[in-house]
Amino acid sequence: MFVGEAPGADEDRQGEPFVGRAGQLLNSMIFAIGLKREEVYIANVIKCRPPGNRDPQPEEVEQCEPYLIRQIELIRPRLIVALGRHAAHSLLKTELPLAKLRGGRHSYHDTPLIVTYHPAYLLRSPGEKRKVWEDLRLARSVLEAP
């Protein structure tokens, strides 16, 4: 299961998460761990696009959290990959910088959780792709573990 921040304009128009350039990059990330997009569930912390595409407010995260929790309960993923700071902070209930959260294995209600950069961030900062590859290798090792 991959969890992002909130739908963007393209996602709102099409009613599907991670479309456009960020979605294409996410597809490549999914493929890098040996899966196809059809084999993973993609969700967002916030279920509707914040006005002006601003960062989600804490009360918006709180209001949407029961929906995300229910999605996770229904899907029962073997692994959650938190895409970006907002997803990581929401799931892990922390304010630690993303740089301190990525690169290690965390847990969300007994489900392994890996933190990595959001695909939209990678489009703006392609030099960080090597770090994401390390995170995805960790994710693949979690999936391959018995």
CATH of the domain at 129: 3.40.470.10
Sign of CA dihedral 24, 26, 29, 30: negative
State which residues of the chain have pLDDT below 50: none
For position 44, what pLDDT does the model report?
A: 94
* Tens-digit pLDDT profile for residues 137-146: 999 999 998 8
Which residue in the block uniquely carries the two structure tokens 């690169």?
A: 103
Q: Which residues contact 130 (CB under 8 A, 6 or more apart)?
A: none
Could you list the residue range(s) of the whole structural domain that residue 9 is in?
2-144
Q: Which residues contact 61 (CB under 8 A, 6 or more apart)?
A: 45, 46, 86, 90
Global pTM reads 0.94
Number of structural domains (the chain) is 1
Residue 35 to residue 44: CA distance in whole angstroms: 19
